[in-house]
Amino acid sequence: MLRKLPVLLAVGALAIAGCGGDDDGDDTAAPASPPPAASPTEQADGGSTTVTMKDIAFAPAQVTVKVGDTVTWRNEDSAPHNVVAEQGADFKSDTFEKGGSYRFTARKAGTIDYVCTLHPGMEGEITVER
């Protein structure tokens, strides 16, 4: 009896480890619901950076990305905001409320200055590197 116990424990541990591995495989293979827009690893084209709009400000106000990367602005403020390039790019979002977002994919290296036209002083910068 006593001599068999360690063997049983070992078998049990193997079975548990095996189940864990199977679970991981299932998780990967299962058709997951679409990832959030900000998911940093799921962009086929390039990287992804999120800028939050909160307390009438962009956070972070300065980001550095690479050509091909996508910047997503997400409004988490009680106020509506927009995103309008002033220099270095040509994007202009509609005004969107809390929960809304806007995306821009950087296509050339340089510095982009942008603002929210609704709130003087609400401005940000994107440095796009090769």
- Footprint on this chain of Co ion (rule: CB under 5 A): 81, 116, 118-119, 122
Q: Name the minimum Å distance from CB 40 to Co ion.
A: 25
Q: Name the minimum Å distance from CB 45 to Co ion.
A: 27
Nearest CB to Co ion, comparing residues 106 and 122: 122
Nearest CB to Co ion, comparing residues 67 and 79: 79
* C-alpha to C-alpha distance for 16 and 122, rounded to whole angstroms: 54
User: ω before 35 within 30° of 0 (cis)?
Assistant: no
Element at 126 (helix H, strand E): strand 123-129
Q: Name the minimum Å distance from CB 81 to Co ion.
A: 3
DSSP 35: P
DSSP 96: B
Nearest CB to Co ion, comparing residues 98 and 119: 119
Nearest position to Co ion, beta carbon: 116
Q: Name the minimum Å distance from CB 105 to Co ion.
A: 22
Give helix then strand counts, H and E, for the chain.
1, 8
